[in-house]
Amino acid sequence: MAARDITETWERLARPGGSIMYLVIDGVGGLPDERGMTELEAADTPHLDSLADRSVCGLLEPVGPGITPGSGPGHLALFGYDPLRYTVGRGILAALGVDFDLREGDVAARINYATMQDGVIVDRRAGRISTSTNQRLCNLIRDHVSLDFDGELYVQPVKEHRALLVLRGPGLDGDIADTDPQRVGQPSRPPRPRSDDARRTAGLVASFVDQVNETLADETANTVLLRGFDTYRPWPSLEERYGLHGVCLAQYPMYRGVSRLVGMDVHTPALELDDYPSVAQSYRDTHDFFFLHVKPTDSRGEDGDYDAKVEAIERADSLIPGLLDLEPEVLVVTADHSTPAAMATHSWHPVPLLLHADSARRDAVTSYDERACLHGGLGIRPGWHLMGLALAHAGRLDKYGA
Amino acid sequence: MAARDITETWERLARPGGSIMYLVIDGVGGLPDERGMTELEAADTPHLDSLADRSVCGLLEPVGPGITPGSGPGHLALFGYDPLRYTVGRGILAALGVDFDLREGDVAARINYATMQDGVIVDRRAGRISTSTNQRLCNLIRDHVSLDFDGELYVQPVKEHRALLVLRGPGLDGDIADTDPQRVGQPSRPPRPRSDDARRTAGLVASFVDQVNETLADETANTVLLRGFDTYRPWPSLEERYGLHGVCLAQYPMYRGVSRLVGMDVHTPALELDDYPSVAQSYRDTHDFFFLHVKPTDSRGEDGDYDAKVEAIERADSLIPGLLDLEPEVLVVTADHSTPAAMATHSWHPVPLLLHADSARRDAVTSYDERACLHGGLGIRPGWHLMGLALAHAGRLDKYGA
């Protein structure tokens, strides 16, 4: 297959232009219930439907046919980064999500505090300890664990039982398998290097785990499970690639992390959904790419709660008038993946896409839902097509060739 | 850009799950007749239409836009093998189709017995000789032709005027041009090597043709035309790639051959179409991928017989209830290519696709035909997307990334 990446062509053609706003309604795509209606079809969404009537619609397959995206790849695709080419471990995303100042070459992993008994894991979340206990355990580890290498060890709480491990130093390599056995009744796994280059780093991690087990011996959370090891390599930013000055408004660290990975600024103070329009307004003069992330649709979908997901959709719908008041040249409404309540998990089903712009070729779609968008002017296409379409509609792409 | 092939991502994400059944109605796609109806639109297909109503539909472009697939690439695409990357000579398929025990490095080609007069081909099928004559000629060749190399020569009848040539030995290379001039009134061509590595093998083939011409000098079928040379290199199987234990039910050797190429088991006893459901049932406990091939639709299309193709479609329709009784988690109905009776040959037109599964996002399509499927939820997409969609709907793909 010939090497071909249209995103590189967009890079070459990028020029200044209008502003672009993405409203990402996480997991909004669904499946019909027994009445034959998806969550979006059942929801009362007057603003989205009216906007669909004045926009061009379609469907995105975020990563590829049949692929159920995690949140990282799903979003990276929307930002114009081919998710099969740009891959990143969850540890890196976790670090970026808690504002950790990652530097090139750092190795990061997610920590889960867990409970071990007679050598096997009996609770992979140590009874979901509080964030303050988490903080105390991290302090204990910082005080008692010391690794034999020319570098630094960082242990930082995230939330409840989740924390972050970062190793910084020359020649580290994060190509290391998870230690989490993924089920109780088994011992945690050794941190196995997946390449020769990662052998030394895996040895340091093994020593880390041993010392933690000694340090926390008397705690309920008496061990750690490590997942998502990776080495941080900065990516070309949205600004470098497309000349976009991005800002992220998100309520959860994961989405702030993925935004930092592509060089966006991140609004860090706590946010309510209803604040999104006014907070976005405050970045109007300094930024021209706005990523607004709505989480509850995905959470309620993962709960398998159809009705609550319908409500979460209706709440997202209410944001539309305030966002239109900001008059972005391009307003996109879509999702990073579907999360049908019927499946209670992410899925591969295409997500509805709406693109509002003066330059949009309006179609006959008058409702923002999965089946109406099938007949939209943008068709069904890969998620990473979106950025090129957004840039074009914002007047940000030069002509290709003479 | 990195080499990118979504099928490799499916490989990495594959996990055990539900069963998948493909009903491939060969050449089912067509063109409108003077009344404006395609063969599928004219056919009375109550079972397919009812199933479409409860499924998600779309269209497949088996190999690519404008590409008219041969049966090999058309099917390989459906099985999740990018047909531009995975290529195979027709000789290999012919050998696999007659249960010949091909080994790595074997060179195979198709033989057509033909009639030559004054040095030019006057009948490319030697009057369509009987299979028993074919058998007798193959025996003659075996007894009289001997090649000067450290290996073995196999000549095996297939059907009517078609036979198989296989050379086995060290250092052989099947990168050799066809000797078939494709039209009468011309001499057969020399077996020209298309690379230096194939020079020696081409010399052996030239000697083979010379000796055959001497041996058959007094026969009506007094020469052979050779096509589809290739060297056999086993492919990664459906089981290795996607964890699928496949079984093929087909009435013609070509389709059994392409199934063997991807490691499927093949039901070898002779089969009537009506037997398909009960025979598939007998593999229900041991296999989780069922490839059911229906040939007459293609044959009648190639005959240019619109009405007979309509009948063949109606016969395929009658299989649906029996297949649904087997309760595969995913039932796919599609084709490897179109064979419009109006063209009397394979064509590039997209083929209708129906995917039935509990996890399918049903669309508004209520009829299984080319134009109804245009409005289906799967859109128009490359043929090799199908396997990923089938795996996903069968719950056989893990999430991609965190």
Closest chain B C-alpha to A108 CA, distance in angstroms: 14
What does the pLDDT read at residue A93?
A: 86
For residue B46, what are its two tokens? 């109550």
* Residue B275 dihedral angles phi and psi, to the nearest 5°: -80, -15
Interchain proximity A66–B402, CB inside 8 Å: no
Closest chain A C-alpha to B233 CA, distance in angstroms: 19
What does the pLDDT read at residue B141?
A: 98
Given the cut 0.85, state whether the ipTM is greater than it.
Answer: yes
**Three-state DSSP class for residue A389:** helix
What does the pLDDT read at residue A3?
A: 44
**Percentages of chain A per state (helix, strand, coil), in multiples of 5:** 35, 20, 45
E strands in B13-119: 20-25, 27-29, 56-61, 107-117
**Three-state DSSP class for residue B116:** strand
What does the pLDDT read at residue B87?
A: 86
What does the pLDDT read at residue B3?
A: 41
Q: What residues of chain A score a pLDDT lower than 70?
A: 1-4
Angle (deg, nearest 10), helices B386-393 and B6-13: 20
Cα–Cα distance between B27 and B384 in angstroms, integer? 17
Chain A residues near residue B5 by CB distance under 8 angstroms:
1
CA nearest to A14, candidates A399, A402, A401: A399
Chain B residues near residue A83 by CB distance under 8 angstroms:
400-401
Size of interface A-B (CB pairs under 8 A): 108
Interface residues on A facing B, Cβ-Cβ cutoff 8 A: 1, 3-5, 8, 31-32, 36, 38, 59, 63-73, 82-85, 87-90, 93, 228, 343, 345-350, 370-371, 374-375, 379-380
Q: What residues of chain B score a pLDDT lower than 50?
A: 1-3
Chain B residues near residue A71 by CB distance under 8 angstroms:
402
The structural domains of chain B, ordered by start, are 6-86+236-393 (3.40.720.10), 94-231 (3.30.70)
First to last CA, chain A: 27
Q: Give the residue from chain A lying closest to B389, CA to CA.
A: A66
Alpha helices in B318-360 (DSSP H): 320-325
Q: Give the residue from chain A lying closest to B379, CA to CA.
A: A380
Closest chain B C-alpha to A381 CA, distance in angstroms: 9
Specify the DSSP element, H or E, that contains A381: strand A380-382
Of B85, B363, B385, the CB nearest to A374: B363
Mean pLDDT of chain A: 95
What does the pLDDT read at residue A87?
A: 87
Q: Mind listing the pLDDT tens digit for each residue in A313-360?
A: 999 999 999 999 999 999 999 999 999 999 999 999 999 999 999 999
Chain B residues near residue A69 by CB distance under 8 angstroms:
399-401
What does the pLDDT read at residue B288?
A: 98
Beta carbons of A113 and A224 less than 8 angstroms apart: yes
Interchain proximity B82–A5, CB inside 8 Å: no
Interchain proximity B361–A31, CB inside 8 Å: yes
DSSP class per residue in A67-111: -EE-HHHHHHHHTT--TTTS---HHHHHHHHTT----TT-EEEEE
What does the pLDDT read at residue A2?
A: 38
Of B3, B13, B402, the CB nearest to A1: B3
